[in-house]
Amino acid sequence: MEKPKKKIAAPRKPARSRKRKTVYSPEEIHEIFRRFSVQRPEPKGELEHVNAFTLLVAVVLSAQATDAGVNKATRDLFKVADTPEKMLALGEQKVGEYIRTIGLWRNKAKNVIALSEALIRDHGSQVPDSREALVTLPGVGRKTANVVLNMSFGQPTMPSTRISCASAIASGLLPARRRNRWRIRW
């Protein structure tokens, strides 16, 4: 009886580098951002908010949701809770009732309450103005921090995926020879 031959495993491929590649040179990227700043010196987001705290909450809620859906859910919420103390007083269940139309609302309600607690405890109820401090808050990642820093504190940051590539192309912010190669990933 013949012994079965052992299969030899193919050599593993080396792990791919996490560095993202772009078709643009650093000079072209600089020019794109220069054109953004000329076209929209004070960019406005689509999310409705009344202060830095409500902007932070709205951006946290906007993950996996549309801005229109978030605005619809937060209009009534922000009328009754526009500070961390008021949000915490509502409690997770009541916040959940306001944001029930947004996907993943149970987890987001927990994050909003935990976020409010952390702001009260660690930052004197104020939204911090540094990325390092913002990303330590529950439900806040780098993109959320960048949006808040830019819109509330006027700090220049890398744009988030919330900036419309289509509007940048349509408004002529990109050089004509590069319009069909809009592949920058943020």
The amino acid that residue 106 corresponds to is R
Q: 112 near 86, Cβ under 8 Å?
A: no
Sequence ranges of the domains in the chain = 52-153
**pTM score, whole prediction:** 0.66
Instruction: Give the pLDDT confidence score for residue 93 in this predicted structure.
Output: 96
- Residue 84 burial (CB count, 10 A): 25
Query: What does the block give as tokens for 57?
Result: 């909450």
Q: Which CATH class is domain 52-153?
A: mainly alpha
Instruction: Give the pLDDT confidence score for residue 179 in this predicted structure.
Output: 44
Please state, in angstroms and rounded to a whole number, the distance separating the CA atoms of residues 84 and 159: 26
Residue 101 carries which DSSP code? T
Res. 164 pLDDT band, cuts 50 70 90 = very low
Res. 19 pLDDT band, cuts 50 70 90 = low
Averaged pLDDT of the chain: 81
Instruction: Give the pLDDT confidence score for residue 181 in this predicted structure.
Output: 46
Res. 163 pLDDT band, cuts 50 70 90 = very low
Q: Which residues contact 160 (CB under 8 A, 6 or more apart)?
A: 143, 146, 147, 186
Q: What value does the mean pLDDT take over residues 63-72?
A: 91
Please state, in angstroms and rounded to a whole number, the distance separating the CA atoms of residues 141 and 135: 5
Greater model confidence, 12 or 71? 71
Please state, in angstroms and rounded to a whole number, the distance separating the CA atoms of residues 116 and 91: 10
Q: What value does the mean pLDDT take over residues 105-122?
A: 95
Please state, in angstroms and rounded to a whole number, the distance separating the CA atoms of residues 150 and 148: 5
Greater model confidence, 114 or 180? 114
44-64 tens-digit pLDDT: 778 899 999 999 999 999 988
Q: CB under 8 Å, gap of 24 or more: what pairs does 124-127 form? A: 125/83, 125/84, 125/85, 126/52, 127/52, 127/53, 127/55, 127/56, 127/152
Of the ranges 70-79, 101-110, 156-165, which one carries the lowest mean pLDDT score? 156-165
